[in-house]
A and B are shown apart, each in its own frame.
With several copies, the nearest count.
Chain A
């Protein structure tokens, strides 16, 4: 649908936060879902760009947090308040916080934090019984984002940067392991991990979850044409548990959030 850009600002060099608005835009939107954005009116660039919901600010408005990483996102970064933007969504299967979940570990790397704030908002609102713990990692100080927002929500947040330019130096997966080792003695039953970020990080998060048998849900990316399950362009190979075979699943429709045990890393 045609939306109006309410704001579009640089948060740190190369990263932007945009809010768009349209009647009913976010009514059925949930954490982990995404929109397909048409960034130009001509035929180049031709395809829509997928962006995760970063924050739902009202039934009629929501925010994206995005990295300028190519032609489409750089066109996007030039939009100003009042501009029109054609946004298709909400799409896909997002993060589900099952009833059995008692404790949520939320792990984000770099821009992967984008959908996770929406998830913590959701938990704060829908699952006050859960006290999530957030783990944020990034290359340098500019790539660990949303710290203030997590603080505002009063969430315990662990931070690591690879270059140590700010906060503890190291990989966020180490801090995740430390945390689990520290608290798992009373058992990890009802624990769940929700993660989004670069593939290497997601892979080791999945491994850690597996070792400590904690359920782990991870948001994946793939190049997309349609975003609605029609083109079969966005598939990734998953493990088909019953038949113990590999099956292709659509990131746009079956995902983008998958049970990390099914992902063939």
Chain B
């Protein structure tokens, strides 16, 4: 039993990375933070994950880049980003004013590129962890290519691990027969946590023009539509592998977030929901606190993986 006035503890640990609350934003859905700072104090979040960074700026895919699907959306942004240097010089300083953890999402076309971006960010104050994206379905080379072969998964993660002392999070591809062997490889490579799930590879066609709705033809499916797949993968990986998990995939409200944590996620990332409701991530952080209070749960860590299955 908890006294009415007692506020429950919401701090969680992704290995060495401590978050004051379990809610972060999903990479690519929150810009570099500034866009949402107009809507609320970012310090309400546990952390933010910035748009995927590469060594050099990348223009991204031609439009159209997005389309709506039933309870979801497809995107093929093509990892457009300002490049790691511009990020460090122009975007990162703005985030220093907030009491949040900054997770830099990185990718490359070769192991060396991953290594280089990681090394660069390792020297950047204000970057608290690196999330290695080896699961982007929207770039020809690299990205997903690494994510669907266990050995290259190991190779990339090992390389990143060796060039940084900061917490390393592996964002694995859900577009595989089983994520478990990849999670095991990631553990072997010495990462501190996993991010699950990235988007499912999808496609939509405009029957009037007979053209794909995305210029890139295929894209990544996100939003509530994929939530059951995300819950299943997180549950499977949590049972099989010891690493803490950042759960994501269609989280729209605090109840969804709790569902992910019961399935085995230590933290949750809010993605597409930010587009539908700019204050979604902060609302979810508050909602989780209320949930703990109403259910007299003293410490959020008490619900992680607690599904009765």
Q: Do chains A and B touch in the complex (CB under 8 A)?
A: yes
Residues of A within 8 A of B59 (CB): 246-248
Q: B202 at the A/B interface (Cβ < 8 Å)?
A: no
Contact for A48 among B224, B225, B276, CB less than 8 A: B276
Contact call A231/B28, Cβ cutoff below 8 A? yes
A228–B34 CA distance with the chains assembled, in angstroms:
10
Contact for B224 among A46, A88, A222, CB less than 8 A: A46
- Per-residue CB contact flags for chain B residues 60-77 toward chain A (1 = under 8 Å, else 0) read 101111111011110101
Of the listed stretches A8-16, A145-153, A232-240, chain B binds A232-240
Q: B262 at the A/B interface (Cβ < 8 Å)?
A: no
Residues of A within 8 A of B236 (CB): none
Say how far B87's CB is from chain A's closest CB, in angstroms: 14
- Per-residue CB contact flags for chain A residues 200-223 toward chain B (1 = under 8 Å, else 0) read 000000000000000000000011
Contact call A46/B29, Cβ cutoff below 8 A? no
Contact call A230/B29, Cβ cutoff below 8 A? yes
A232–B27 CA distance with the chains assembled, in angstroms:
12
Residues of A within 8 A of B225 (CB): 43
Residues of B within 8 A of A237 (CB): 62-63
Q: A44 at the A/B interface (Cβ < 8 Å)?
A: yes
Q: B80 at the A/B interface (Cβ < 8 Å)?
A: yes
- Per-residue CB contact flags for chain B residues 264-294 toward chain A (1 = under 8 Å, else 0) read 0000000010111110000000000000000
Which residue of chain A is the closest to B65 with respect to CB atoms?
A: A233
Q: B8 at the A/B interface (Cβ < 8 Å)?
A: no
Contact call B35/A44, Cβ cutoff below 8 A? no
Residues of A within 8 A of B22 (CB): none
Contact call A38/B276, Cβ cutoff below 8 A? yes
A231–B29 CA distance with the chains assembled, in angstroms:
5
Which residue of chain B is the closest to A48 with respect to CB atoms?
A: B276
Residues of B within 8 A of A233 (CB): 65-66, 75, 77
Contact for A44 among B38, B67, B71, CB less than 8 A: B71
- Per-residue CB contact flags for chain B residues 197-231 toward chain A (1 = under 8 Å, else 0) read 00000000000000000000000000111000000
Within 8 A of A (CB), among B224-242: 224-225
Contact call B63/A229, Cβ cutoff below 8 A? no
Which residue of chain A is the closest to B213 with respect to CB atoms?
A: A223
| Besides A233-B65, A235-B80, 17 new A-B residue pairs in contact (Cβ under 8 A), listed by A number | A38-B277, A43-B70, A43-B224, A46-B68, A223-B66, A225-B73, A225-B275, A228-B35, A228-B278, A230-B31, A230-B35, A230-B274, A231-B77, A232-B77, A233-B66, A234-B66, A236-B63
Q: Which residues of B contact A (CB under 8 A)?
A: 28-31, 35-36, 38, 51, 59-60, 62-68, 70-73, 75, 77, 80, 223-225, 252, 272, 274-278
8 contacts between A and B (CB under 8 A): A38-B277, A45-B68, A46-B223, A228-B36, A230-B29, A231-B28, A231-B29, A248-B60
